[in-house]
Amino acid sequence: MKKIVALVLAAMMIVAVFASCGNSGETTSSGSADSGSTASSAESGTGFNVDVADFGEEKGATLKVWGPDAYVKLLKKQCDAFTKKFPDKGIKINVVAQGEDTAATNMLSDADAAADVFGFASDQLSRLVSAGVIAPVATKYAEAITASNLEAAVSASTLQNPKTKEDTLYAFPETGNGYYLVYDKSVVSDKDAGSLEAILADCKKAGKKFIMDAGNGYYSCVFAFTGGLKIDGLEDDGLTQKFNDYDEKQVVATLKAFSKLMHDYSGTFTSLDVANIASGFVSTGKKKSVCGAGIDGNWNSTPDQEALGDNFGATKLPTIEVNGKAQQMISMYGYKMIGVNNASKYPRTAQILAYYLSSEECQTQRCAELGWSPTNNTVVESDVAKKNVAISALVAQSEFSVAQVNIAQTFWDPMGNLGNKLIAEDTNPDKYDFTKLFKDTVSNIKDE
């Protein structure tokens, strides 16, 4: 529980970190890639400190790397750049599209056939560590990662080693991961973007949709989180979700407020996959845009900006009125990480590649080309990050979020069902039993 509290507090301080980044704490780790060499790096000044001796006897390594669709093109470029840094090693890298949300499931199903280096979401780390399929970060790189990345990102990448019982860095932080409000400024004004009621009124007036994936537990948790529910780690069995001490009446009142607003703006408030937001913003020739605003992730910031141009707007999630009081919408906030397969035939080369992909150089490229929020302290302080409207929106929302760590696999479907019930046509907000819905949701999360 202490770690969850620390993560939430750390996330809330990211805004301050943008003004002044501090050094992160100590992390103990071990791994086969550690050569113990202290020679000068050929990459001095880039935050990528590797010696040729770190490869040991490995040569001619063939690695498989997983990354999401939106990242594949840039990931291939970065992997090519990596092989050119060590031409004598004869390294070959095969980049395969694989979403971070299902990476752990695929790793656990067949680690021998899985990627050597893979991207994944922070809530999956405990499963990977428990199953022993992810290798600890080599000591040399763990020290560098700890010193050069946001404390919250390092903490989220750290778990107790099942064998040594010591806190161990198991992953290389890659990017902050969350969602925020994105809107068409020709439809929603900057002022109105602060209120869900005003946003929906603006969208309805313009004949546009407000899009949120209300049936996806990753987004629909907002409905309960806004009412005060928070995840609080796992029970001792490592499987059952724990929750904080919440006010049930407040959570239920908030669920009712969301449902009523959804029904009052039926046809405007639309539950669709987030991919429909960027495509919905596009206007070409006779085809007019259909989306006025939505709740989207930072991984889609580039297509959103390309679709809207000068009309691109992004900010933290808005407030919603609950019992006459404006209540800030609370999201889930986590990290995307890079892991190394414990079954890799080339563990040293895989560790070095993962270290490179999490480096200042690669984080800068992802920030500039994809709009991914950095975790590297230097990149956080750079103009490429500070001047990015989408990243600023994500940072602002991180202050109003629940940490995406230690989440039971049973959390997602019941929470998605909650969202579907709130927006369903046959749900009458004035008569529906939201108390039973909420109790059933918590019960299903704990008992499935």
Q: Where are the domains of the chain?
A: 2-14+59-177+333-402, 179-332+405-447
Asked, colleague to colleague, whether 2-14+59-177+333-402 and 179-332+405-447 share their fold, the answer is yes
Angstrom distance (rounded) from CA 145 to CA 47: 9
Work out the pLDDT band at 447, boundaries 50, 70, 90. confident
Q: How far is CA 220 from CA 109, 204, 270, 319, 433, in A?
A: 28, 22, 13, 15, 18
- Which parts of 11-83 are beta strand (E)? 62-67
Q: What would the pLDDT profile of 125-179 be if each residue is shown by its tens digit?
A: 999 999 999 999 999 999 999 999 999 999 999 998 999 999 999 999 999 999 9
Task: Among 23-37, 186-200, 281-295, 434-448, name the most confident range.
Answer: 186-200
pLDDT given for residue 179 in this prediction: 97
Q: CA 314 → CA 79, 185, 400, distances in Å?
A: 31, 9, 15
Burial class (CB in 10 A: 0-12, 13-18, 19+), 51: middle
Tell me, what's the pLDDT at 23? 32
As a whole number of angstroms, the distance between CA 81 and CA 96 comes to 17
pTM to 2 decimal places: 0.82
Over the stretch 265-316, which tens digit does the pLDDT of each residue have? 999 999 999 999 999 999 988 889 999 999 999 889 999 999 999 999 999 9
CATH ID of 179-332+405-447, from 3.40.190.10, 3.20.20.80, 3.40.50.300, 2.20.28.120: 3.40.190.10
Amino acid at 291: C
Residue 117 CB contacts under 8 Å (≥ 6 apart), including other chains: 63, 64, 65, 66, 338, 339, 340, 341, 344, 350, 353, 354, 357
Alpha helices (H) in 265-346, listed in sequence order: 275-281, 301-308
Query: Per-residue pLDDT tens for 315-373?
Result: 999 999 999 999 999 999 999 999 999 999 999 999 999 999 999 999 999 999 998 99
Given this model, what pLDDT does residue 236 score?
83
- In the predicted model, is pLDDT for residue 398 greater than 70? yes
Quick check: 28 pLDDT over 50?
A: no
Query: Nearest-CA neighbor of 210 among 328, 318, 295, 315?
Result: 295
The pLDDT of residue 47 is: 64
Question: CB-based burial of residue 367 (10 Å sphere; 0-12 exposed, 13-18 middle, 19+ buried)?
Answer: buried
CATH: 1.10.390.10, 2.40.70.10, 3.40.190.10, 3.40.50.1970. Which one for 2-14+59-177+333-402? 3.40.190.10
Find the mean pLDDT for residues 22-35: 32
The amino acid sitting at 396 is A
Q: Which of 62, 66, 113 is nearest to 83 (CA)?
A: 62
